[in-house]
Amino acid sequence: MLVNLNLDGADIAVIEIWEDKVPEIAAKLREALPFPTYLQHGKLTGDLLLMQTKILADWENMFYPEDLAEQVAAEGTEIRGAVSYYGPRQQISIMYGNDIPPEPLPVSGIGKVVKGADKLELIGLKTWLEPGMRVVLSLIDSPVDEEPT
């Protein structure tokens, strides 16, 4: 499933939700979309954008960010563009950079940004200083070309 992230009227990014890895979360998102929300910044959790959702779902494809940080460091890969869902707060998060501080709480890995990840870093910095930009999340009907990672 592809989700469009529209910020203040401009299409900014496309998120791929892994329906095979998180079928319940994906189904609840599909049913709830489209919906408006607001961007926040994870003040203590690295390069992280947060968006409140309309859904409540249990963990699927669960991991601990501190474990992921070790894996990324060992493999020499990037975490930028990773998309997670944190059920207790009903939030979707997007890693816009590669700063992953230790975080002892589990999250559900639900997808990745497949287009527009480069734009999110500047948006992340702006959100740090001025949280509350309006975002609309909506379904995309047709496939998009992934950007090289």
pLDDT band at 42 (very low <50, low <70, confident <90, very high): confident
Contact 133/127 with Cβ under 8 angstroms?
A: yes
Predicted confidence at residue 149, as pLDDT, reads: 47
Share of the chain above pLDDT 90, in %: 61
Q: What's the distance, CA 124 to chain centroid?
A: 12
Contact 87/108 with Cβ under 8 angstroms?
A: yes
State which fold the 2-140 domain adopts. Answer: Cyclophilin (2.40.100)
pLDDT band at 20 (very low <50, low <70, confident <90, very high): very high
Residue 21 has pLDDT above 80, yes or no: yes
Domain boundaries defined on the chain: 2-140
Residue 69 has pLDDT above 70, yes or no: no
